[in-house]
A and B are shown apart, each in its own frame.
Chain A
Amino acid sequence: MPALFSEGFLLGLSTGFYCLSSCLPLLAPYLMAEGKTAWKFNFFIFLQFTGGRFAAYMLFALLASLAGKAGQYTLPAWLLPACLLACGLGMVVFAAFRVSSRALCLLNRDFNPFFKRLPLALGFITGINICPPFAAGFLRLLGLADILKGFAYFGGFFAATTLFIAPMLLGTPWIGRRANEIGRLTLLIAGIWYAGLGAAGLLRL
């Protein structure tokens, strides 16, 4: 088991930059939009995001191991675009409710309670975003066809890739009200982009 954890860890370590580039457009706008000067608060957002990623990785480890056992080597083609669409729409709705202008804000009520778990969802979406290193790990698990070994392998992969994402927190104590505004607009643009990508993916099926 430790050998498999190390194998996953090394895969994550060598390909972490790819993970970073796919996580950044989701996490960075959210951190900018909702981050505060209090480091603890931002760390909590980061923890939720990481939790979402961890859940996604473990789910994939489970699915890959089960699929390997059953000799099934495919996943539903609609899964990734549908998740991207849901994530994009979530970001758009969140940003639309939070852009601070009375004329433009859809509702003046603070909708934050409904979106408290958004970082978790964003992390989950990022986790199931199949990038080349992730696909390499997935194929390895299909071959292993063992749930516990799969958890160990993807656990290592998760730990290593988190090392690449964690430094993002260093910039957050300087986030002020202005950065929040910019972050919300960025979240809106990123949401439209991801929703568009998801919708295009579904239409092409």
Chain B
Amino acid sequence: MTPLAAEKGKTLSSGFFALLVFVPVMAFAGLVSGREIGRIYALPWALFAAGTAFGIAYTGRVSFFRRLFFGVSALAFLVHFKFSLFSDTFEASCFTAAPFCHIAIAPSFLNYLYQQYLAFMSGGWKLWGPLTLGAAWLFITLAIGRAWCSWACFYGGIDDALCARPGKPLLKTARFSAFRDLPAALLVFMLLASLAYMLPVYCLWLCPFKLSGVFMDGDAAVRRLQYGLMAFALAALVAGPLLTKKRVFCSYLCPFAAWQAFWGRLNPFRVTLAADKCAGCLACVSSCPMSAIKCLPGGKAEILAYCNMCGQCLDACPGGGFAYTVFGHELPERLSPFGRLFSVKFFFVFSALTLGAVFSSLWAPAALHDLVKILGGTGL
């Protein structure tokens, strides 16, 4: 095959892959947007997701394009839901209510079992009972497992985008390695404490995202402590990545990350390291934003259960030792332009990107609608 024909084949197959992502995203986003704000707002979002897919398929670089998509999704979420907290003029629609917070599900799970308790509900999401949410969570876990935290979580996108900003870390996180299991410990504690007090302990004490004082304790001293912990969590979310180049909140504080690390084993996708290709350079350790790669005594790297398949190590490893696999197994390699799409890598990217884009259809087109309103002078 001539280089020109190879290039053409690569472009065509990448376009085909982008189309595969575009169709479901446009269908779902169009359906949701069509009800409230107009189907036209779904188109840019579906095109953006398709563009991300094209970039990944054409260049082979997963994490660069994923991070771009993930960051924009998180920004859209912030624009639409969090800024709306400061405005009373939002129209009454399902878009004005933040979707049920998945982070709250994990530490309040025992409460769910006991009394079908919903931690924080708002707007039309009250209609989403625990069983519906449980089914949605199970589907997501089976489809992408731990990859939720790097492809779809609207909070993780903030941490992830910020940790790409600094050139070099000012603080090394290696000294905190003894606390890498802290999210799991927080999860266990919050599961038990939430059950004991019948309160959403995480939401009340640690959540940096609520940006509101309405959930605070009536006692002034307790309220000050709650604000202090909230500020600490917010610093971990914003300043942490800028100082360390790591997703500090997601790695050390988020109970849902631990929850998904545990249940994510149900999903067959894995990031696997070929031991014979590892030179022990540890480029992967420093590149992993989740601090999920550990150096073993022999100098070789080990992937921890906290890996959420962002693909950063795939791009960083000079020996190409990392790969997306299904329970450690790859599909036979095909070299033809379209045949290369039949690899675990593209099956995984398709699942994670499509699910992330479909999920963010709940707010990304609406954020665009908000911006159009602001630019058009109608304001919020």
Contacts and interface: CB of A to CB of B under 8 A. Distances in A.
Interface of A: 17, 21-22, 24-25, 28-29, 32, 99-101, 103-104, 178, 181-186, 188-190, 193, 200
Given A21-B196, A24-B195, A200-B222, A29 B188 contact: yes
A189 B183 CA distance: 11
Interface string B157-194: 00000000000000000010111011011101100110
Nearest to A188: B185
Contact of B114 (A17, A28, A185, A188): A17
B188 A103 contact: no
B193 A100 contact: no
Size class of the B contact interface (CB-based, 8 Å) = 10 to 19
Contacts of A188: 185
Nearest to B225: A196
Give me the 5 closest cross-chain CB pairs, A-B, nearest first: A101-B178, A185-B185, A25-B192, A186-B185, A21-B196
25 contacts: A17-B114, A21-B192, A21-B195, A21-B198, A22-B196, A24-B192, A24-B195, A25-B189, A25-B196, A29-B188, A32-B188, A103-B175, A103-B178, A182-B181, A182-B184, A182-B185, A182-B188, A183-B185, A184-B185, A185-B182, A188-B185, A189-B186, A190-B189, A190-B193, A200-B221
A189 B178 contact: no
A82 B195 CA distance: 23
Contacts of B175: 103
Contacts of B222: 200
Contacts of B177: 101
Given A28-B188, A182-B185, A186-B185, A104 B178 contact: yes
Contacts of A104: 178
Given A21-B196, A25-B192, 15 more contacts: A17-B114, A21-B192, A25-B189, A28-B188, A29-B188, A32-B188, A101-B177, A103-B175, A103-B178, A181-B181, A183-B185, A185-B179, A185-B184, A186-B185, A186-B186
A172 B244 CA distance: 37
A100 to B, nearest CB: 7
A107 to B, nearest CB: 15
B195 A193 contact: no
Nearest to B180: A181
A32 B192 CA distance: 13
Interface string B235-256: 0000000000000000000000
A24 B114 CA distance: 14
A24 B196 contact: yes
A178 B175 CA distance: 19
Contacts of B196: 21-22, 24-25
A189 B175 CA distance: 20
Contact of B178 (A24, A29, A100, A186): A100
Contact of B189 (A17, A101, A103, A186): A186
**Looking at B181, B182, B186, which has the most chain A CB atoms within 10 Å of its CB?**
B181
B187 to A, nearest CB: 9
A123 to B, nearest CB: 16
Nearest to B201: A193
Contacts of B184: 182, 185
B188 to A, nearest CB: 5
Contacts of A189: 185-186, 189
Nearest to A24: B192
Contacts of A182: 181, 184-185, 188
B192 A28 contact: yes
Contacts of B178: 99-101, 103-104
B181 A178 contact: yes
A182 B189 CA distance: 10
Nearest to A101: B178
Nearest to A185: B185
Interface centre among A17, A188, A189 (most CB of B within 10 A): A189
Interface in B106-144: 114
A103 to B, nearest CB: 7
Contacts of B185: 182-186, 188-189
A193 B184 CA distance: 17
A29 B181 contact: no
Contacts of A183: 185, 188
A22 B198 CA distance: 11
B190 to A, nearest CB: 9
B193 A193 contact: yes
A172 B195 CA distance: 20
A70 B121 CA distance: 51
B202 to A, nearest CB: 12
Contact of B181 (A17, A21, A185, A190): A185
A123 B186 CA distance: 22
Nearest to B111: A21
Interface in B176-235: 177-179, 181-182, 184-186, 188-189, 192-193, 195-196, 198, 221-222
Contacts of B195: 21, 24
A181 B304 CA distance: 15
A194 to B, nearest CB: 10
A83 B198 CA distance: 22
